[in-house]
Amino acid sequence: MSPKLSRRSFLRMAGASAAGLAAGAQLLPKVRVFAAPNGQEVVRISFAGWGQVAEQDGVVAAIEAFQAENPGIEVEWRHTPDTDFTTVFLSNIAAGTPPDTSFIASNNYETFRNQGLLLDITDYITNDPLLGQPDYFLPQEAQRSADDNGRWHGIGSTWVAPHIYYNAALFEEEGITPPGFTDDEIWDWDTFLAVAKQLTVDSNGLHPDDDGFDPDNIERWGVQYPFSNETYIAAAVFSNGGQMVNENGSALDSPEAMEAMQRMADLIYVHHVAPQSASLSSLGMSNTQMLDTGRLAMAVDGSWALSWINSSLLTVPIGTGALPKMTQPATHMQAHFHGALAATEHPDEAWQWLRFLATPFYTLQFMKIGLWLPSQTAQTTEEGLAEWITEGIHPDNYVDFVSEYLPNYGVAYRVPPGYVEAFTNFLNPAYEAIANGTPAVDVMPEAVRQANEVIAAAIAASS
Amino acid sequence: MTTTAEVRNTDPRAQPLLKRRLTLSQRRNITGYLFISPFILGFLLWFLIPALIALYLTVHRWNLISAPQFVGLDNIEHLFNDPLLPQALKATFTYTIVAVPLGLLISFGLAMLLNNQLPGIGIFRTIFYLPSIIPAVASAALWAWIFNTEFGLMNVLIRSLGGPKVPWLQSPDWALPALIIMSLWSVGGSMIIFLAGLQGIPDIYYEAAEIDGAGRWKKLRHITLPMMSPVIFFNLIIGFINSFQVFVAGYLITDGGPTNATLFLVLYIYRTAFRSLNMGYAATVSWLLFFILMGLSFLVFRYIGNRVYYENPGE
Amino acid sequence: MSSSDISLSESTSVSAFEEQAPPSKSRWMHWFTYILLIAVAALMLFPFLWLVSSSLKSQVQIFAYPPEWIPNPPIWQNYVDAMTFRPFHIYLRNSIAIASLNVIAVVLTSSLCAYGFARIRFWGREFWFSIVIATLLLPSIVTLVPQFIIFTRLGWIDTILPLTVPIFFGGGAFNIFLLRQFFRTIPEELADAARIDGCSEFGIYWRVMMPLSKPALITVAIFTFLASWNDLIGPLVYLRTPDTYTVAIGLAQFRGALTTRWDLQMAAATVMVLPVVVLFFFAQRYFIKGIVMTGLKG
């Protein structure tokens, strides 16, 4: 497992491959291997997944387009709208009614792969005229989808990554230059902290370093850097030169990792620039509501949140910028996979569907609304960007994020088997403790030890 | 009682062969078992067989996908070195030990208060009882909002009295007290049982005590409490059983957190089974819960049950 | 015919909600009691007021400090939004279907078993009744995992079968126990009279006992309905798709999806609470009767 990215210049590569891709894209409508001529039997495959209204609509639209293109295949959408998808998925397997294809949460991908649940699609990809092209996907794709032997058991659906959202009107009012995504626009931690202090105001108009500042009655918080989603922690850890996982499982007991988490917690307890936020709902307001009502100046949230934190939906103008760097710029890239089950009776049809999900039609509809980021190289070229960057949703500098920042500083890693259990039982409670003011060094070593026992057992059980 | 015998005498051929050969008690046995057969079948299907499966699971490791794997006493051994189990036990016991007696005390006090024949008392009885029938899911949503640190009713009240902002559901120290307070909202059930018990105490006892010059406290101590002891005992048992099975509050409001402070046993079992997919260990912890409840019931019956005063012993 | 005349027993015939004439007591005590009563009533009612008030607030009003108790203007749209965010009408339909089936199951089979235990002296009766009591004390979670496995194997996951079929097997120890207690208070002479008329044991149960037990059956039915309506863990484990969701699981999922939309959450919670409160006001005396039956004859 090597979570670090190659740092090669991404745009150049993208440009070089664009021509080849354009040729490949023309092949797209012709690839109708299973088009059923009159009267031939229709193959029905099922597709299991989760998601709210937007995802639901997107999948339904994709199925219609796919079926129009492939009259011989019918896709049945098995939708679980909310939590506990994994339980639903696995109990269907236990009951002998597994889906043919499915969303696979990135936290489960290695677990399921290890258990032999997923179909090996490497040969399909290699032989595909479009997806088989060497630069069809962004370089990080192989790092999450392929195993140590280079075998693929799924394709990442997209990429998402955390960054900063800020109240642009407030920055202008205060005369502060906001953060951006290019190298000279990325803040270091001290700048970030100073701005956060400047933007934090208590009910008497005082800032955190002023005499008589009242941390119990803060009118506006400088920033929210929550522990509620592991991806924010991962971004901080990578930025501080740490790792999320190593060959033992979790690597969050390293000094770099613990220091990164401590810095996040210090924003709350030492600097008083961030609200206590072990969980979203305990704070009452979401960061969106807080930004909208002027109670928050900056929020760290995932790129997906752009579909609701954007200037056309909020009453304040919203800007975006990179996370502050601790020792180096970094953010964490991830997203769920699309995979076929090893048990499917229709592997060829299942592949056709997975393939369709990795083509522009499906991904563009989510990218346009701010939910997804491109995982296909062609969508990051100038022409490609024009296809999905949407005025009012994507701020002007979002192009920098996609074409410059992410290729260089986005980090992806593979989550080891057994991680869901290790996370629920040990790692997440430790994050909650840190978010509640316990020093990271007091809880992480023990939590990591316990988590890694679970991971070791999961690896042992399936080998 | 000889109706059937008479029938047989008048026309033996009208009776089915089988019925004729059966004695009255045999027929009563058949009828009896026919009547209770749904229960017996249900007991076998939904209780005894599951119990056997649970027993099988305790010596297996099974994630629903691959075949169950025999692991001997691994699951039972894991009970002793599972770092989460002590936390789950602690949360459950603390909740029970605080919420049940406190709930009994309050519901008894309220029942005493309602045991008055004042005009309009019926309205108060209705109001006090109503919260206890509110669906747990709805009251979980409501109380999550009431306990919200920034905007919740609880902190609004505390702050209007000059108190601090309490981080109810955010802090591991306050989450359990918050859920206990929430449980006190719905003491109406045991309150009504107490009230019915209080109203069942004949006035004549109190009148006699008054003649002897007994005060309010003495009447409570020497008449009300002894007369009420079976009811208190009943509410105690029900309270224990219910609070050991607390699930919805921990699942919906705190999801077991923060830092596992509200990881109740049932929630832990649910998670182990349906999130970690460790069916074997989940079954093992279920058995543990079973033995704890049996043991507790035994202790309660043994040490409290024999102090209960029954007016008419036996039945 | 007037079955409600039959009282459970001397001490349990109390109708706790009915008022009685005030006896002479000191005036001072009266006032003191009233003040206490009103204080407690306020504590009990505050959460309800907060619920309804929050459900009618705008997204801005809900975060106002100090809070406004009477939202102006009330946002009735919250109820529309909450009910249409997810297909709540389907959840309502499912909840009602499951609860109704449970009520039918309990009324039919619990009473059948209860009659057997109450009125027929058969060999092994005491043994089986002690089993009823034992399962009464037993936490249902103990059998949750194995039952899930059984239902998985039967292919019943994501259907309402696991939430309804088992109820038809006796309807639960608690209900058997409750109805048995009631049946025992009905005079034996009525049954004897029917027996002399050539009535079978089943006929006595069905034509004599059941009509006489209407109040107890209604009580059991109400509590069964409530238990099913309020149940979360069952639907959580067995139901998988929105087509089969109940209101309880719908509201639980709602919380997950709209974490900080308290206005909509409170509107949805109010909708879930409303039928229960209405049921309560229409059937108050049965609620009390049921509780008293369980409490004093234990």
pLDDT at B18: 53
Q: Give me the number of domains chain B comprises.
A: 2
Per-residue pLDDT tens over the stretch A341-391 = 999 999 999 999 999 999 998 999 999 999 999 999 999 988 999 999 999
Candidates A281, A288, A315, partner chain C, best to mutate (most C CBs within 10 A): A281
- Please give the average per-residue pLDDT across B233-262, as a whole number: 88
Q: How far is it, in rounded angstroms, from Cα A297 to Cα A207?
A: 13
- Pick C253's closest partner by Cβ from A79, A83, A284: A83
pLDDT at B9: 43
* Three-class SS state of B70: strand
- Please give the average per-residue pLDDT across A181-188, as a whole number: 95
Q: How far is it, in rounded angstroms, from Cα C293 to Cα C13?
A: 9
**Do the Cβ atoms of B293 and C288 come within 8 Å?**
no
Per-residue pLDDT tens over the stretch C65-93 = 788 888 888 999 999 998 888 888 899 99
- CB contact C260 to A (< 8 Å): yes
Residues B117 and B187 in one domain: yes
Query: What sign does the CA torsion over A442, A448, A449, A453 have?
Result: positive
pLDDT at C215: 84
Q: Chains touching chain B at 3 or more Cβ pairs under 8 angstroms?
A: A, C
A11 vs C94: which has the higher pLDDT: C94
- CB contact C14 to A (< 8 Å): no
| Amino acid at the residue A366 | F
Chain A and chain B share a number of CB contacts under 8 A equal to 88
Distance (Å) of CA C82 to CA C56, C63, C85, C251, C268:
11, 19, 5, 10, 6
Could you write out the three-class secondary structure of chain A? CCCCCCCCCHHHHHHHHHHHHHHHHHHHHHCCCCCCCCCCCCEEEEEEECCCHHHHHHHHHHHHHHHHHCCCEEEEEEECCCCCHHHHHHHHHHCCCCCCEEEECHHHHHHHHHCCCECCCHHHHHHCCCCCCCCCECCHHHHHHECCCCCECCEECCEECEEEEEEHHHHHHHCCCCCCCCHHHCCEHHHHHHHHHHHCEECCCCCCCCCCCCCCCEEEEEEECCCCCHHHHHHHHHHCCCCCEECCEECCCCHHHHHHHHHHHHHHHCCCCCCCCCCCHHHCCCHHHHHHCCCEEEEEEEHHHHHCCCCCCCCCCEEEECCCECCCCCEECECCEEEEECCCCCHHHHHHHHHHHCCHHHHHHHHHCCCCECCEHHHHCHHHHHHHCCCCCCCCCHHHHHHHHHHHHEECCCCCCCHHHHHHHHHHHHHHHHHCCCCHHHHHHHHHHHHHHHHHHHHHHHC
Domain annotation for chain C: domains and CATH numbers: 3-13+75-296 (1.10.3720.10)
Q: Chains touching chain C at 3 or more Cβ pairs under 8 angstroms?
A: A, B
Residue of C nearest to A91 (CA): C152
- CB contact A105 to B (< 8 Å): no
pLDDT at A18: 43
C144: left (phi over 0), alpha (psi -120 to 50) or beta: alpha
Residue of A nearest to B151 (CA): A284
**Contacts C33 to B, Cβ<8 Å:** 113, 116, 118
- CB contact C66 to A (< 8 Å): no
Confidence bin at A5 (pLDDT 50/70/90): very low
B76 domain residue, yes or no:
no
**Do the Cβ atoms of C44 and B43 come within 8 Å?**
no
Q: Is residue A41 scored above 60 in pLDDT? A: yes
pLDDT at A9: 41
- CB contact B229 to A (< 8 Å): no
A320 vs C240: which has the higher pLDDT: A320
Chain B and chain C share a number of CB contacts under 8 A equal to 294
- Count H helices and E strands in chain B, helices first: 17, 2
Q: Is residue A289 scored above 60 in pLDDT? A: yes
- CB contact A278 to C (< 8 Å): no
Q: Is residue A277 scored above 80 in pLDDT? A: no
Could you write out the three-class secondary structure of A138-189? CCHHHHHHECCCCCECCEECCEECEEEEEEHHHHHHHCCCCCCCCHHHCCEH
pLDDT at C113: 95
B210 domain residue, yes or no:
yes
Residues B243 and B104 in one domain: yes
Q: How far is it, in rounded angstroms, from Cα A188 to Cα B240?
A: 55
- CB contact C276 to B (< 8 Å): yes
pLDDT at C15: 45
**Do the Cβ atoms of A79 and C242 come within 8 Å?**
yes
Residues B89 and B31 in one domain: no
**Contacts B161 to C, Cβ<8 Å:** none
B61 domain residue, yes or no:
no
Spatial CA neighbour of B253 closest among B150, B162, B156, B178 = B178
Q: How far is it, in rounded angstroms, from Cα C82 to Cα C251?
A: 10
Q: Which residues pair with A79 in a beta bridge?
A: A49
C249: closest CA of chain A, how far (Å): 11
- Please give the average per-residue pLDDT across B228-234, as a whole number: 85
Per-residue pLDDT tens over the stretch B190-206 = 898 898 888 888 888 88
Q: How far is it, in rounded angstroms, from Cα A453 to Cα A110?
A: 17
pLDDT at C290: 64
Residues B154 and B17 in one domain: no
Residue of A nearest to C84 (CA): A53
- CB contact B230 to C (< 8 Å): yes
Residue whose tokens read 């029942």: B111
Q: Is residue C296 scored above 60 in pLDDT? A: no
Distance (Å) of CA A34 to CA A43, A68, A351, A352, A360:
9, 12, 11, 9, 20
pLDDT at B16: 54
Domain end marker among B11, B36, B55: B55
Residues B34 and B182 in one domain: no
Secondary structure (DSSP) of C62-120: GG-SSPPSS-SS--THHHHHHHHHTTHHHHHHHHHHHHHHHHHHIIIIIHHHHHHHHH-
- Name the token pair of B228: 């009420």
Of chain A, the percentage scoring pLDDT greater than 70 comes to: 89
**Do the Cβ atoms of C259 and A94 come within 8 Å?**
no
Residues B41 and B110 in one domain: no
C25: closest CA of chain A, how far (Å): 49
B234 within 8 A of C298, measured Cβ to Cβ: yes
Confidence bin at A26 (pLDDT 50/70/90): very low
Instruction: Tell me which residues of chain B, numbers 166 to 195, contact chain C at a CB-CB cutoff of 8 Å.
Output: 185, 189, 192-193, 195
Residue whose tokens read 């206490």: C36
Q: Is residue A183 scored above 60 in pLDDT? A: yes
Q: What is the CATH code of the structural domain delimited by A10-160+334-411?
A: 3.40.190.10
Per-residue pLDDT tens over the stretch A69-115 = 999 999 999 887 666 788 778 878 877 788 999 999 998 999 899 88
Q: Is residue A178 scored above 90 in pLDDT? A: yes
Residues B165 and B246 in one domain: yes
CATH topology of domain A162-332+416-462: D-Maltodextrin-Binding Protein; domain 2 (3.40.190)
- Please give the average per-residue pLDDT across A426-444, as a whole number: 94
A335 within 8 A of A374, measured Cβ to Cβ: no
Spatial CA neighbour of A116 closest among C143, B63, C68 = B63
A448: closest CA of chain B, how far (Å): 13
Query: What sign does the CA torsion over B289, B269, C235, C239 have?
Result: negative
Per-residue pLDDT tens over the stretch B148-163 = 888 889 998 998 898 8
Lowest mean pLDDT among A33-47, B115-129, B191-205: A33-47
- Please give the average per-residue pLDDT across B179-183, as a whole number: 96
pLDDT at C257: 74
Residues B199 and B254 in one domain: yes
Average pLDDT, chain B: 86
pLDDT at C25: 55
Candidates B2, B139, B142, B301, partner chain C, best to mutate (most C CBs within 10 A): B142
Lowest mean pLDDT among A76-90, A172-186, A221-235, B265-279: A76-90
pLDDT at A48: 92
C289: closest CA of chain A, how far (Å): 40
A373 within 8 A of A406, measured Cβ to Cβ: yes
Domain end marker among B55, B74, B92: B55
C83 within 8 A of C55, measured Cβ to Cβ: no
Average pLDDT, chain A: 87
- CB contact A390 to B (< 8 Å): no
Lowest mean pLDDT among A13-27, B4-18, B200-214: A13-27
Q: Any idea of the CA torsion for A433, A436, A441, A442, to the nearest 10 degrees? A: -60
**Contacts A452 to B, Cβ<8 Å:** none
Domain carrying residue B45: 3-55
Q: How far is it, in rounded angstroms, from Cα B218 to Cα B207?
A: 13
Q: Chains touching chain A at 3 or more Cβ pairs under 8 angstroms?
A: B, C
Confidence bin at A45 (pLDDT 50/70/90): very high
Secondary structure (DSSP) of B171-202: SHHHHHHHHHHHHHHTTHHHHHHHHHHHHTS-
Other CB atoms within 10 A of residue C25 CB: 12
B51 domain residue, yes or no:
yes
Confidence bin at A22 (pLDDT 50/70/90): very low
- Please give the average per-residue pLDDT across A243-272, as a whole number: 96
**Do the Cβ atoms of C152 and A91 come within 8 Å?**
yes
B132 domain residue, yes or no:
yes
Residues B113 and B45 in one domain: no
- Name the token pair of B181: 């307070």
- CB contact B171 to A (< 8 Å): yes
Q: Is residue C240 scored above 90 in pLDDT? A: no
B120: left (phi over 0), alpha (psi -120 to 50) or beta: left
- Pick C63's closest partner by Cβ from A92, A97, A293: A293
C41 within 8 A of B127, measured Cβ to Cβ: yes
What are the extents of the domains in chain A?
A: 10-160+334-411, 162-332+416-462
Q: Which helix (H) or strand (E) holds C218?
A: helix C214-230
- CB contact C273 to B (< 8 Å): yes
DSSP code for B133:
G
Confidence bin at A37 (pLDDT 50/70/90): very low
Confidence bin at B19 (pLDDT 50/70/90): low
Residues B148 and B48 in one domain: no
**Do the Cβ atoms of C18 and B122 come within 8 Å?**
yes
- A10-160+334-411 and A162-332+416-462: same fold? yes
Q: How far is it, in rounded angstroms, from Cα B250 to Cα B260?
A: 10
Reported pTM: 0.84
Confidence bin at A181 (pLDDT 50/70/90): very high
Distance (Å) of CA A3 to CA A114, A140, A286, B16, C204:
19, 9, 31, 82, 77
Other CB atoms within 10 A of residue A362 CB: 21
pLDDT at A17: 42
A278 vs C231: which has the higher pLDDT: C231
Per-residue pLDDT tens over the stretch A217-242 = 888 999 999 998 999 999 999 999 99
Confidence bin at A246 (pLDDT 50/70/90): very high
Domain end marker among B12, B38, B55: B55
Per-residue pLDDT tens over the stretch A299-341 = 999 999 999 898 888 899 999 999 999 999 999 999 999 999 9
- CB contact A421 to B (< 8 Å): yes
Instruction: Tell me which residues of chain C, numbers 40 to 59, contact chain A at a CB-CB cutoff of 8 Å.
Output: 59
B79 domain residue, yes or no:
no
Q: Is residue C23 scored above 90 in pLDDT? A: no
Residue of C nearest to A50 (CA): C241
- CB contact C31 to B (< 8 Å): no
- Pick A278's closest partner by Cβ from B152, B170, B260: B170
* CA angle (C232, C233, C235) in 5-degree steps: 70
Instruction: Tell me which residues of chain C, numbers 75 to 104, contact chain B at a CB-CB cutoff of 8 Å.
Output: none
A99 within 8 A of A92, measured Cβ to Cβ: yes
Residues B26 and B141 in one domain: no
Q: Which residues pair with A166 in a beta bridge?
A: A298, A319
